[in-house]
Structure 1
Amino acid sequence: MTDTTTARTHELNLYRQYFDVVAAGRKTIEVRVRYPHLADMAAGDTIRFRIKGTEETCDVLVKRVTAYDDFETLLDGEGPQNVNPTSTREQQLANIRDIYPPEKEALGALAIEIELLGA
């Protein structure tokens, strides 16, 4: 019997401020809404982050994907220092909710543990 599971590459956009901490290897948890197109993301996959409108990219390995009901629970479960070591928990929650309005948060949240590739 053969294993039909293969690692995939997902292309996702990031704002410059988050891209920089990922590219520096300091951000180990990426936060996303639990959109259907991310449902198949799994450990072993690669994410290619891109700053929208540029050719700047950064590749990371997905180590783990954990679902949460909301962003607040995610930050408490993962530790805000892993999500963004440059801001407080309260700032992070406000920033995430600026990006994702309540109707998006209602879909649930994903904590994607990442590791910088090619560092």
Structure 2
Amino acid sequence: MSNTTPRVRELNLYRRYFDLVSAGIKTIEVRVKYPHLADLVAGDVIRFRIKGTDETCEVEVKRVIEYAGFGALLDGEGPSNVNPTATRDEQLANIRAIYPPEKEALGTLAIEIRLLD
């Protein structure tokens, strides 16, 4: 008998991105390839939480693609899938404000997500 229960990961998300995810309009989540995310796969569930609150939303992971850097990720996935409210250059600046160069050097993950009911 196989285990059909998806793994659930809990990740914090800034309010501005949480609102886009919970509305179902942000379909690509951007993360650094930290060890705890290296085994993330399609079918896993991510429970996003706004840090310090009980506000959560859950998404299903549809696919995970690794990129060498954030610029390549935005070009490969399309900026409007990452954040439809900001230009590519704005997004790149925002992402790099969150993750400094030494974090980006670990590799970057584009996580395609689908909002769960």
TM over 0.5: yes
Equivalent position of 1:65 in the other structure: 64
Equivalent position of 1:10 in the other structure: 9
Equivalent position of 1:78 in the other structure: 77
Equivalent position of 2:55 in the other structure: 56
Structure 2: gaps spanning 5 or more residues: none
TM-score by length of 1: 0.95
The alpha-carbon deviation at position 7 of structure 1 amounts to 2.2
| Identity value in percent | 74
Q: Distance in 2 between matches of 1:32 and 1:6?
A: 24
Q: Distance in 2 between matches of 1:3 and 1:105?
A: 36
The alpha-carbon deviation at position 95 of structure 1 amounts to 0.2
Structure 1 3/82 Cα, relative in aligned 2: closer, same or farther at 3 Å?
same
Equivalent position of 2:96 in the other structure: 97
Cα RMSD for the two superposed structures: 1.1
Structure 1 5/67 Cα, relative in aligned 2: closer, same or farther at 3 Å?
farther
Equivalent position of 1:20 in the other structure: 19
Structure 1: gaps spanning 5 or more residues: none
Structure 1 49/105 Cα, relative in aligned 2: closer, same or farther at 3 Å?
same
TM-score by length of 2: 0.96
DSSP 3-state at the match of 2:41: coil
